Amino acid sequence: MRVLVVGATGGSGRATVDALVARGHEVTAFARRAEAAFGGRAGVRAVDGDVTVAGDVDRAVAGQDAVVVTLGISEHPLRVRLLGAAGTPLDVRSRGTRNVVTAMRTHGVRRLVVQSSYGVGETRRRLPLSTRLVFALLLRPQIADQERQERVVRDSGLDWVIAQPVYLTDGDEGATTSADGTVEQWRVSRRAVGTVLAGEVEGTGRATLAVSGTVRTPTPAGG
């Protein structure tokens, strides 16, 4: 399949590109500095562009079979909360996803996989109290934009999956998914999330999936 990854230079985006290439897909990596990150890599076409510019997105979506959206703000959440995001609009997730949906409709692309966050929408009530406080005090603007993003996806009429990972790490935790919001472990690696997103590209149907870390079985002594 020809798959576009929007927000490809972030941690989850890079992991998704890696997973898609490993599965044999033809990948287009789209980001403001995609060429610097992926230029010359086998199996990846790098496209520089701004997801908030409809024309850039339209050109990237044309000719694809599926799209994965891994948009986010890389700046520290406290700085964003106090001063705003310096390099990225606060509504990048919803505005960018709206442009993606419009382009997909225009070009007849049906499969859309979007990374959101656990605790957005129906899963909020399942969060630990400490996390709910962080959401309310520190991440409120970003969570509000993710809620708008999810509405855009649900109202798109496309064949979509919303993946809601728990706390992301750069470790080696595996991932498990559930459709009812069940969580095994509250940390999951970006690498494992990328694998989940890549796998959902090949699926069909609409679903909202919680993505959490797997419970690891201790290795026996001497094993």
Tens digits of pLDDT across the chain (223 residues): 999 999 999 999 999 999 999 999 999 999 999 999 999 899 999 999 999 999 999 999 999 999 999 998 765 454 444 445 556 778 999 999 999 999 999 999 999 999 999 989 888 888 887 776 766 665 677 788 999 999 999 999 999 999 999 999 999 999 999 999 999 999 999 999 999 999 999 999 999 999 999 966 555 555 4
Is residue 27 assigned to a domain? yes
Is residue 188 assigned to a domain? yes
Domain of 190, CATH number, reads 3.40.50.720
Q: Residue 82: what pLDDT?
A: 47
Q: Residue 89: what pLDDT?
A: 78
Is residue 218 assigned to a domain? no
Cα gap 30→27, rounded to integer Å: 10
pTM: 0.90
Is residue 222 assigned to a domain? no
Is residue 219 assigned to a domain? no
When divided into structural domains, the chain yields a total of: 1
Is residue 56 assigned to a domain? yes
Is residue 126 assigned to a domain? yes
Which residues span the domain enclosing 147? 2-213
Is residue 205 assigned to a domain? yes
Q: Residue 131: what pLDDT?
A: 75
